[in-house]
Amino acid sequence: MIQRSQLDLRKFVAPEFICGYGALHLAGRYARNFGMKQVLLVTDPGVRAAGWAGAVGESLAEAGVSFTVFDSISANPRSRQVMAGTEAYLAEECNGIVAVGGGSPMDCAKGIGIASSSMRDILTFEGVDRVPVPAPPLICIPTTAGSSADVSQFAIITDEGRKRKIAIVSKTLVPDISLLDPEPLTTMPRELTADTGMDTLSHAIEAYVSNASSPMTDVHALEAMRLAVSALPAAMAEPEDLNLRFSTLLASLHAGLAFSNASLGAVHAMAHSLGGAYDLAHGRCNALLLEHVMAANYEAASDRYDRIGAILGQGRATPAEGAAAFRKTLGITGTLAGVGVREDALPALAAAAHADPCMVTNPRSLACEDIERIYGHAL
Ligand SMILES: [Fe+2]
């Protein structure tokens, strides 16, 4: 059982953020306030096609801020893409970055910021507090409700050479301001809403049971769970309802404030390993692992998991069963085998997960064999 004291020293880092309808259109004003003259507008082709990058570009132009669009970004952003963006940033002599999109463009934008300020390859920053030079000003505008890259001090980048995701954790990765607008969420496809929603729920649950949790992070983690459970199924039923979308955005915000300061656990360590090896959607990886990690961790933080179980409801016997039932209400019914994972891949996946920095704050210390067993249950 983890012994926590509310008197333990804790630090809480959060960016300035503005949330509400129309926040996206403040991009130009804030870029100008930060003294940005030439902006790298980091986005991806899907967000561009939906019109949101264009709307941000208009706001920048109206404020007299020049910009260059960089959208050569895939899901699970690669180190090569970060370095291509860094080249574009330096070639265009930019002095600020505006990211509009989901976790992939925002993480890539964070990577471009630190790689350009330190003039180093992005892969050299892996780990905690390893960024020597602060990044240029960064404005984040999320178009999904889940990654919380818009408030977190995390960036996750795929190392293509090793087929692994690396976690970079540093206060310099906290955006200077985030503009949280529910409108871009209305164009999210159903599956993306479900996957990013399960990412939110995983952030909240992992932060709440983390052995670095604190009274400050608990408040946000619990509220994130409540909002996600009540608003997500409704937002999927009525995707254009701005109030429901805003509730999911608030859930993501609360979860981000919690996990950015309490860190995460085995779900994310294992999801990073899985996503790096198989190039799967991050939220889907979490969704398929969450209930199995909850079952494995239960004894190490049973009071906390019981509270989570009460919020998840679903009338289930255990919190893990509650999580399993919840993801099914969002239409996520698969298994790891269903997304192409084979049993003989599990030892390598477990070894990579064991080395992930998120594993450090898991409430139960897990050996490679334990992690392999959990992957096995999720097959
Ligand atoms: Fe996540």
pLDDT digits (tens, 9 = 90+) for 345-362: 999 999 999 999 999 999
Summarize pLDDT for 57-68 with one digit per residue, the tens.
999 999 999 999
Output the CA 146–ligand 1 centroid distance in Å: 7
Output the CA 172–ligand 1 centroid distance in Å: 19
Output the CA 268–ligand 1 centroid distance in Å: 6
Q: Would residue 296 count as lying in a domain?
A: yes
- What is the per-residue pLDDT for 134? 94
Asked whether 154 and 127 are in contact (CB, 8 A), the reply is no
Same domain, 31 and 150: yes
Output the CA 284–ligand 1 centroid distance in Å: 10
Per-residue 3-state assignment (H helix, E strand, C coil) for 36-69: CCEEEEECCHHHHHCCHHHHHHHHHHHCCCEEEE
Same domain, 213 and 316: yes
Range of the domain at 169: 16-184
Q: CA separation (Å) from 78 to 111, 119, 133?
A: 10, 18, 22
Domain end: 184, 205, 231, which one? 184
Output the CA 286–ligand 1 centroid distance in Å: 7
Same domain, 305 and 353: yes
Output the CA 103–ligand 1 centroid distance in Å: 9
Q: What is the dihedral of CA 333, 335, 337, 343, to 10 degrees?
A: -170
- The residues pairing with 320 across neighbouring beta strands, listed in sequence order, are none
Output the CA 200–ligand 1 centroid distance in Å: 7
CATH number of 274's domain: 1.20.1090.10
Asked whether 39 and 94 are in contact (CB, 8 A), the reply is yes
Same domain, 162 and 287: no
Output the CA 259–ligand 1 centroid distance in Å: 9
Question: Shortest CA distance to 305 belongs to which of 323, 319, 316, 287?
Answer: 319
Output the CA 66–ligand 1 centroid distance in Å: 32
With a cut of 50, list the residues of the chain below it in pLDDT.
none
Output the CA 106–ligand 1 centroid distance in Å: 13
Same domain, 227 and 368: yes
Output the CA 251–ligand 1 centroid distance in Å: 13
Same domain, 227 and 363: yes
CATH number of 158's domain: 3.40.50.1970
Phi, psi of 140 (to 5 degrees): -110, 135
Same domain, 116 and 252: no
pTM above 0.85, yes or no: yes
Output the CA 128–ligand 1 centroid distance in Å: 17
Same domain, 167 and 199: no
- What is the per-residue pLDDT for 240? 96
The 3-state DSSP class for residue 363 equals coil
Output the CA 189–ligand 1 centroid distance in Å: 18
Question: Shortest CA distance to 126 belongs to which of 149, 150, 102, 158?
Answer: 158
Q: Would residue 260 count as lying in a domain?
A: yes
- What is the per-residue pLDDT for 4? 66
- What is the per-residue pLDDT for 7? 83
In 330-367, which ranges are continuous DSSP H helix? 346-354
Domain end: 125, 153, 184, which one? 184
Q: Would residue 85 count as lying in a domain?
A: yes
- CB contact burial 81-105 (16+ within 10 A = b; e otherwise): bbbbbbebbeeeebbbbbbbbbbbb
Output the CA 309–ligand 1 centroid distance in Å: 20
Output the CA 255–ligand 1 centroid distance in Å: 10
- What is the per-residue pLDDT for 149? 96
Element (DSSP H or E) covering residue 142: strand 138-142
Summarize pLDDT for 285-326 with one digit per residue, the tens.
999 999 999 999 999 999 999 999 999 986 778 999 999 999
Q: Would residue 6 count as lying in a domain?
A: no
Same domain, 180 and 193: no
Rama region for 178: left / alpha / beta (φ>0; ψ in -120 to 50; rest): beta
- What is the per-residue pLDDT for 3? 59
Same domain, 82 and 211: no
- Number of structural domains, the chain? 2
Question: Shortest CA distance to 329 belongs to which of 309, 313, 350, 352?
Answer: 313
Question: Shortest CA distance to 145 belongs to which of 298, 59, 255?
Answer: 255
Asked whether 138 and 317 are in contact (CB, 8 A), the reply is no
Domain end: 132, 153, 184, which one? 184
Q: Is the dihedral of CA 138, 165, 119, 47 positive or negative?
A: negative
- What is the per-residue pLDDT for 6? 75
Asked whether 354 and 221 are in contact (CB, 8 A), the reply is no
Output the CA 154–ligand 1 centroid distance in Å: 10
Element (DSSP H or E) covering residue 154: strand 154-159
Instruction: Compute the distance between CA of residue 225 and CA of residue 71 in angstroms, rounded to an integer.
Output: 32
The 3-state DSSP class for residue 360 equals helix
Output the CA 152–ligand 1 centroid distance in Å: 10
Output the CA 290–ligand 1 centroid distance in Å: 11
- What is the per-residue pLDDT for 315? 72
Output the CA 336–ligand 1 centroid distance in Å: 17
